[in-house]
Amino acid sequence: MNATINLESKHFPVLLNELISIISPLYGGTFIDCTFGQGGYAEKILEHKKNDIIALDRDKEVFNNTLKLQKKYKQRFKFYNLKFSQLDQIKLKNNEIKGIIFDLGYSLNQIKNSQKGLSFSDKGKLNMKMGINDFSADDVISKMDENNLTKVFKVFGDEKYSKKIAKEIVKKRKVKIIKTEDLVKIIDGIKKYQKTKIHNSTKVFQALRILVNKEISELINGLVNSFNLIPVGGIIAVVTFHSIEDKIVKFFFKHYSEQRNSSRYFPEAEISERCFKLIHKKPILPSSNEIKKNPPSRSAKLRYGIKINKNCDFNDFREKFKNLIYVENLR
Ligand SMILES: C[S@@+](CC[C@H](N)C(=O)[O-])C[C@H]1O[C@@H](n2cnc3c(N)ncnc32)[C@H](O)[C@@H]1O
């Protein structure tokens, strides 16, 4: 979800009706909600008496949002404060997993929480940690060298002024600690003659959030782990909000639903089985009504696949995105 969100706005689970119509034919079992957030998806799925939810979120502050569901649905609802790359750590008791869902990005509560510093209207120490992180945006801005900062802004933000912004950060941090508002000022100073529809800081903030939360490896590992967890016939559904996420999710479903005799990256490997059946080749987008009611939903894309093969070799998935993983590991 985008940080330009109106802070007065209400929480609307994005593409909720579309998601429910995809998974409802499988109702009567356990669904894993990998991104619990404010619980919009989980609550809707639990309305059906024969469904259970196992929910995950890396942000322990969503715990408050789980209380109502724990009270109402008791054994039918279980929450883990884990990242979805750790999906393989959850304990399943003969649960029949019907579907695994991801609604990537940030919840309205997280953006409103100025301590998290996810929005460029926040003030104070840079942060951007969603939960269970190894480092913050402050660590990156105060320590990373100019070349690596340039790469991060370029690759994760597609920022045209990456080099100039990185140079100015390194110059400024010699004389003072760069806070959220200082970073916005540095970027505004460099892009002052630019006329764009988006906020000057959107791209750099996106890049930092991806890096700090290791969103690339989270997503790749989360998707592979979900495939390994669901039985044949189960659904994996993912809502993305920016083009890098969508590229990864699109490749995952499209590449592994095609009949292939060999892998492009490992031509010696015979891969003749498809892993997914796709019902929609194109992503499902929010209706104009939904966008009117909830403008940040405009960048959402929903993709899903039905698992049709027990085993799948995902080596070329990581190979395909190795450059992004390389940048994510820069310090
Ligand atoms: C857009 S919100 C989900 C909203 C939710 N679908 C609802 O209806 O309320 C995304 C949530 O995913 C969580 N999240 C993001 N990346 C995660 C990860 N790698 N592992 C676990 N949770 C993650 C965030 O902390 C946030 O609470």
Q: What's the gap in Å between 103 CA and the centre of ligand 1? A: 6
Give the confidence band of 161 by pLDDT, cuts at 50, 70, 90: very high
Q: Residue 3 has what pLDDT?
A: 41
Long-range CB contact pairs, 161-167, < 8 A, 24+ = 161/187, 161/190, 161/191, 164/190, 165/190, 165/204
Tell me the CA–centroid distance for residue 156 and ligand 1, in Å.
19
Q: Of all protein residues, whose CA lies closest to atom 24 belonging to ligand 1?
A: 106
Say what the pLDDT of residue 196 is: 79
**Is 134-212 a domain of CATH 3.40.50.300?**
no
Distance from the alpha carbon of residue 20 to the mean position of ligand 1, in angstroms:
17
**From the CB of residue 250, how many other CB atoms can be counted at a distance below 10 Å?**
18
Between CA 291 and CA 295 the distance in angstroms is: 5
Q: How confident is the model at residue 174 (pLDDT cuts 50, 70, 90)?
A: very high
Mean pLDDT throughout 83-100?
92
Q: 61 is written with which tokens?
A: 């502050």
CA 65 to ligand 1: nearest atom? 9
Q: Best mutation site among 11, 15, 35 for ligand 1, i.e. most ligand atoms within 8 A of its Cβ? A: 35
Which atom, in ligand 1's list, is nearest to the CA of 42? Answer: 8
- What pLDDT band is residue 70 in, cutting at 50, 70 and 90? very high
Quick check: 91 pLDDT over 90? no
Q: Distance (Å, rounded) from C-alpha 180 to C-alpha 117?
A: 7
Q: What is the whole-number distance in angstroms between the Cα of residue 325 and the centre of ligand 1?
A: 21
The closest of 58, 99, 102, 49 to 77, measured between CA atoms, is 49
pLDDT at 268 over 50: yes
Please answer whether residues 98 and 23 qualify as being in contact, where contact means their C-beta atoms are separated by less than 8 angstroms. yes
Taking only the tens place, the pLDDT of each residue in 15-35 is: 999 999 999 999 999 999 999
Q: How far is CA 159 from CA 60, 165, 171, 192, in A?
A: 32, 9, 19, 14
Atom in ligand 1 nearest the alpha carbon of residue 16: 8
In the structure, which protein residues have their CB atom closer than 6 angstroms to any atom of ligand 1? 1, 13, 34-35, 37-41, 56-59, 62, 83-84, 103, 105-107, 110, 130-131, 218
What is the CATH architecture assignment of 16-109+215-328? 3-Layer(aba) Sandwich (3.40)
Question: For tokens 């109702």, what's the residue?
Answer: 27
**Residue whose CA is closest, atom 14 of ligand 1?**
35
Edge-to-edge strands, sheet with 52-56: 77-80, 52-56, 30-33, 97-103, 235-240, 301-307, 276-277
Q: Up-side HSE of residue 176: CA atoms within 13 Å toward CB?
A: 11
pLDDT number for residue 124: 96
pLDDT over 90 (residue 266) = no
Confidence band, pLDDT 50/70/90 cuts, at residue 270: low
DSSP conformation letters of 72-107: HHGGGEEEE---GGGGGGS--SS--EEEEEEE-S--
Instruction: Using the mean position of ligand 1's atoms as its centre, give its distance from the Cα of residue 118 in Å.
Output: 14
Cα(80)–Cα(62) distance, integer angstroms: 10
Residue 314 Cα distances to 126, 168, 318, angstroms:
36, 41, 7
Gap from CA of 174 to ligand 1 centroid (Å): 36
Task: Give domain limits for the chain.
Answer: 16-109+215-328, 134-212
Return mean pLDDT, the chain: 93
Burial 175-212 (b: 16+ CB within 10 A, else e): eeebbbebbbbbbeebbeeeeeeebbbbbbbbbbbbbb
- Neighbouring CB atoms inside 10 A of 232's CB total 10
Using CA atoms, how far apart are residues 212 and 135, in angstroms rounded to an integer? 6
Distance (angstroms) between ligand 1 centre and the Cα of 164 equals: 33
The pLDDT assigned to 269 comes to: 55
pLDDT of residue 59: 98
Q: First-to-last CA distance in the chain? A: 26
- C-alpha–C-alpha distance, residues 12 and 103, integer Å: 12
Ligand 1: residue whose CA is nearest its atom 7: 40
Nearest CA to ligand 1 atom 2: 107
Pocket test for ligand 1, best of 47, 100, 129, 130 (most atoms within 8 A of CB): 130
Q: Ligand 1 centroid to 107 CA: how many Å?
A: 7
- Chain length of the chain: 331
Please say if the pLDDT value at position 6 is more than 90.
no
Q: To the nearest whole percent, how much of the chain has pLDDT over 90?
A: 86
**pLDDT of 1 higher than 50:** no
